[in-house]
């Protein structure tokens, strides 16, 4: 497989893993955004869903699916593609021995670098999505809201949430990939009796999902305050980050919508890693995880 084929497969895997999962979980995202932006109306998960359905109908639960699909497909392509690129690049800079010893640092640096780029593509779609999802009547679609933002706030209106988006997504992605890689390594080292290369593909994809879910819970908690800020900023005209923090307050900043976000992001991240590795298997590539030689070396070090 050529480098072009490898990165093309990673990019397409990222499109499917992020675009499809985020779009599929649009109802959870819709409720989460409304709990964050309109807490007086949407106070609980069960009551919030009941209010949405009774007022707008079941079809309204997928409000915002188009900017979600477009934005997270673009973000997934760049996030996974550049993560693989930066991971290999940083490993090469540290060379073989140092790369193995500092692999967690490589995962953190590679994921942060990739997410920085990916969020530039995501930000305009996220701004439109939140406005579509938090308007009171859900009657305006993607193009209408996009035109409104450009007319009232100009191009800057699409990127005013970029700083908190970076604040949400970069720590999220760093934890997402570093925890995932660590969880995969430990599952193969402790829970499974045979190396990854000898496991059936179904087992390998099961490990990918389980490790992704573990990582998802961790990164949901880390990124939640910034997620609250993104929702408030993109729901209000002319508001600054500091204004949004004061509007929320510290307790709400840390906790509002957190349980729903843990449920959403855990499922989302597990599914993303499962789909991504599933696509890699389809393309004739191995799933992610430590090679047998690394596991043997780790076991020898523990015994020594």
User: What domains are defined for the chain?
Assistant: 3-303 (1.50.40.10)
175 and 215 Cβ atoms separated by less than 8 Å: yes
| Nearest residue to 78 via CA among 126, 15, 28 | 15
pLDDT given for residue 96 in this prediction: 59
**Measured between alpha carbons, how far is 61 from 52 in angstroms, rounded to an integer?**
7
207 and 188 Cβ atoms separated by less than 8 Å: yes
Q: What is the mean pLDDT of the chain?
A: 86
Q: What angle do CA 168, 170, 174 make, to 5 degrees?
A: 120
103 and 290 Cβ atoms separated by less than 8 Å: no
CA dihedral 127, 128, 132, 136 (to 10 degrees): 50
Find the mean pLDDT for residues 248-257: 85
- Confirm whether pTM is higher than 0.95: no
pLDDT tens track for 266-298: 888 999 999 999 998 888 888 876 554 444 454
pLDDT given for residue 299 in this prediction: 46
Between 23-27, 119-123, 196-200, 204-208, the lowest mean confidence (pLDDT) is in 196-200
The CA radius of gyration of the chain, in Å to the nearest whole number, is 20
pLDDT given for residue 91 in this prediction: 86
**Measured between alpha carbons, how far is 234 from 210 in angstroms, rounded to an integer?**
33
Work out the pLDDT band at 264, boundaries 50, 70, 90: confident
**Measured between alpha carbons, how far is 236 from 232 in angstroms, rounded to an integer?**
6
pLDDT given for residue 289 in this prediction: 64
Q: How far is CA 136 from CA 38, 46, 90, in A?
A: 10, 19, 47
SS (H, E, C) 212-231: HHHHHHHHHHHHHHHHHHHH
Higher pLDDT residue, 235 or 280? Answer: 280
**Measured between alpha carbons, how far is 263 from 217 in angstroms, rounded to an integer?**
8
């Amino acid at each position: 497989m050529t480098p072009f084929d490898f990165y093309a497969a990673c990019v397409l895997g990222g499109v499917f893993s992020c675009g499809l999962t985020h779009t599929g979980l649009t109802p959870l995202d819709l409720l989460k955004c409304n709990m964050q932006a309109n807490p007086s109306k949407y106070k609980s998960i069960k009551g919030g869903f009941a209010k949405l359905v009774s007022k707008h109908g079941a079809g309204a639960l997928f409000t915002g699916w188009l900017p979600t699909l477009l934005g997270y497909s673009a973000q997934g392509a760049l996030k996974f593609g550049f993560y693989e690129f930066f991971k290999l690049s940083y490993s090469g800079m540290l060379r073989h021995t140092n790369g193995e010893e500092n692999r967690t640092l490589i995962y953190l640096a590679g994921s942060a670098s990739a997410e920085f780029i990916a969020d530039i593509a995501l930000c305009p779609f996220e701004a439109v999505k939140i406005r579509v999802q938090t308007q009171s009547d859900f009657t305006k679609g993607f193009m209408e809201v996009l035109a409104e933002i450009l007319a009232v706030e100009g191009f800057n209106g699409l990127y005013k949430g970029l700083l908190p988006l970076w604040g949400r997504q970069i720590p999220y992605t760093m934890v997402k990939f570093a925890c995932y890689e660590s969880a995969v390594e430990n599952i193969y080292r402790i829970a499974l009796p045979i190396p990854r290369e000898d496991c059936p593909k179904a087992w390998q994809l099961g490990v990918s999902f389980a490790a992704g879910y573990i990582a998802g819970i961790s990164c949901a908690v880390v990124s939640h305050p910034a997620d609250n800020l993104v929702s408030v900023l993109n729901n209000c005209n002319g508001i600054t980050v500091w204004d949004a923090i004061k509007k929320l307050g510290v307790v709400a900043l840390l906790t509002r919508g957190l349980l729903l976000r843990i449920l959403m992001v855990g499922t989302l991240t597990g599914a993303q890693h499962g789909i991504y590795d599933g696509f890699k298997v389809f393309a004739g590539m191995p799933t992610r995880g430590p090679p047998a030689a690394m596991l043997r070396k780790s076991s020898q070090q523990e015994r020594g």
